[in-house]
Amino acid sequence: MTRESQGVINSRRKRRILENREFHALQTHISFPTDLPKEGPHIDGGRPRYTPGDSVRVNCTSSRSRPAATLAWFINGEPAEEANLHRYPPVRDEDGLETSILGLEFRVRHKHFRKGDLKMKCLATIAQLYWRSNEESVEGDRPQKAPALESRETLNPGKREASSHSSSSGGVSWTMNGSSSFISSSRSLSFVLVASVALLLNNLCLGRTTLWGSLIMNITR
């Protein structure tokens, strides 16, 4: 075989290889989907707020495409475990377009709120042509703080002050709005307890000074 004839054969082989490549490329192009979803995936079934211990049951739907979109769930950026997924077969319409549905179910834990809100994302893909996602951010129920008790009188029209101190004679001296009283040591403990209760009631019942006076009179007798 001459070099010229060998070159012709090699040329034919290269042409056939190129033709085969073009044919496969054409087949691949034809097999690509021409019907992509008109909108991104949709999430339904969620609630606006969750508490640790609640169950989450949501579905992600990607409507009408050829072929059906591949769906995936993410919880706070991490892929959801397979045990928490509910896979449904694609729903085919009369025109051949398919709808994909993927369910997600799990129990809410405190760890889901460590970085703030609970985020659930659904990703829909079709080969390398389609890549869209939808994410929902859910708040957790936070315990309400009890209002702090205000010990100061803010609405009392008249200023009331009370103070007590021990006396060298073994008793207790008590001053209320400028009036002083002395109680012997044998009655000092009872007086302090009763006086404390009376002062509290006096602060709650503004203007009822007769209660305080009556208690002082009864103790000093």
Evaluate whether residue 148 is within a structural domain: no
Q: What is the pLDDT of residue 59?
A: 98
Residue 126 has what pLDDT?
95
User: CA–CA separation, 221 vs 214, rounded Å?
Assistant: 11
pLDDT at 124 over 70: yes
Q: Are residues 196 and 109 in the same domain?
A: no
Residue 23 falls inside a structural domain? no
133 plus 168 within the same structural domain? no
Residue-level pLDDT at 140: 75
Q: Average the pLDDT over each of 15-24, 76-85, 117-126 and give the range with the smallest value.
A: 15-24
Which of 32-41, 53-62, 69-78, 127-136 comes out lowest in average pLDDT?
A: 32-41
Whether residue 113 sits in one domain with residue 46: yes
**Is 120 within the bounds of a domain?**
yes
Position 109 in a domain: yes
Over residues 37-60, the mean pLDDT reads 95
Q: Which residue has the higher pLDDT, 156 or 179?
A: 179
> Is residue 149 domain-resident?
no
Residue 99 lies in a domain: yes
Banded model confidence at residue 86, pLDDT cuts 50, 70, 90? very high
Check pLDDT > 60 for residue 110.
yes
The pLDDT value given to residue 104: 98
pLDDT score of 155? 42
Task: Report the pLDDT value the prediction gives residue 196, as an integer from 0 to 100.
Answer: 62
- pLDDT over 90, % of the chain: 44
- Say whether both 119 and 166 belong to one domain: no
* 117 and 190 both lie in a single domain: no
Is the residue at 152 inside a domain?
no
Q: Are residues 132 and 64 in the same domain?
A: yes
Number of domains in the chain: 2
Domain end position, chosen among 140, 173, 198: 140
Instruction: Give the residue numbers spanning the domain of 175.
Output: 162-220
Residue finishing a domain among 140, 175, 191:
140
Is the domain of 129 the same as that of 195?
no
Per-residue 3-state assignment (H helix, E strand, C coil) for the chain: CCHHHHHHHHHHHHHHHHHHHHHHHHHHHHHCCCECCCCCCEEECCCCEECCCCEEEEEEEEEEEECCCEEEEEECCEECCHHHEEECCCEECCCCCEEEEEEEEEECCHHHHCCCCEEEEEEEEECCCEEEEEEEEEEECCCCCCCCCCCCCCCCCCCCCEEEEECCCCCEEEEECCEEEEECHHHHHHHHHHHHHHHHHHHHCCCCHHHHHHHHHHHHC
* pLDDT for 31 beyond 50: yes
Q: Last residue of some domain: 109, 140, 171?
A: 140
- pLDDT of 121 strictly over 70: yes
Judged against a pLDDT cut of 70, whether residue 26 lies above it is answered with no
Note whether 136 and 168 are same-domain residues.
Answer: no
Evaluate whether 69 touches 100 at the Cβ level (below 8 Å). yes
pLDDT, the chain, mean? 73
CATH number of the CATH domain containing 85: 2.60.40.10
- Structural domain includes residue 27: no
Q: What is the mean pLDDT of residues 95-120?
A: 94
Residue 171, pLDDT above cutoff 60: no
Q: What per-residue confidence (pLDDT) applies to 40?
A: 96
- pLDDT band of 54, cuts 50, 70, 90: very high
Mark whether 89 and 169 lie in a shared domain.
no
Residues 134 and 171 in one domain: no
